[in-house]
Every structure is written in C-alpha cells, then in structure tokens.
C-alpha cells in the first residue's frame, strides 16, 4: 500500500512539473501565431480596400459622367413610389 501511495505521489509531482511547461509552450505558440497574424491582417485589409476603391472608383465616375444610374432604383423605394403615384385632381 505504501508503495502505491509513493508511486501516486511521484506521478502527481511529475504532473505538477509538466503542467507549467505545457502552459508556457501553449502560450508561446499562441503568441507566435497571433503576433504575425495581427501584424499582417491590417495590411491585407488595407490592400484589399485600396484595390477595390482603385478599381471601382473609375467605373463609378464613368457611369456618373455618362449619366447612367450608379445605384439601382430599388435602393430608393420612396422615390419609386412617388414617381408611380397618380397626381391628385
């Protein structure tokens, strides 16, 4: 019985020694992955927005210059309803 308790005590001490090491490794791995992602993500978002604006802005300017509606009428239901209204007599 004494040997079994001794064995359990040794295992418990071993787990107590391993737990902080596992915790440190896990947090360092998380930091190692999080820091580059946190640094790169804003750059990706900014580049994406820049490309979208640079590609869409000339198209919108051209459509406005030609006189085509840039925003469909369905976006403005109030104006459509007023345009379809029968005038009062």
Q: What is the 3-state secondary structure (H, E, C) of 7-54?
A: HHHHHHHHHHHHHHHHHHHHHHHHHHHHHHHHHHHHHHHHHHHHHHHH
Tens digit of each residue's pLDDT, the chain (89 residues): 667 777 766 677 776 777 788 888 888 888 888 888 888 888 898 988 888 888 888 888 888 888 776 666 555 555 555 555 666 65
pLDDT at 57: 83
Does residue 62 belong to any structural domain of this protein? yes
Quick check: is 18 in a domain? Answer: yes
For residue 58, tell me if it sits in a domain. Answer: yes
Quote the number of domains for the chain: 1
Give residue 20's domain range.
2-83
Q: What is the CA radius of gyration of the chain?
A: 33
**Is residue 89 in a domain?**
no
Please report whether residue 51 resides in a domain.
Answer: yes
Q: What is the DSSP letter of 66?
A: H
Whether residue 88 lies inside any domain: the answer is no
pLDDT of 34 reads: 83
Instruction: Answer yes or no: pTM beyond 0.75.
Output: no
């Amino acid at each position: 019985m004494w040997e079994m308790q001794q064995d359990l005590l040794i295992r418990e001490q071993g787990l107590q020694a391993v737990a902080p090491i596992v915790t440190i490794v896990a947090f360092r791995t998380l930091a190692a992955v999080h820091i580059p992602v946190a640094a790169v993500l804003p750059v990706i978002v900014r580049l994406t927005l820049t490309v979208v604006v640079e590609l869409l802005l000339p198209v919108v300017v051209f459509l406005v210059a030609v006189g085509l509606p840039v925003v469909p009428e369905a976006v403005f239901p109030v104006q459509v309803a007023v345009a379809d209204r029968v005038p009062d007599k």
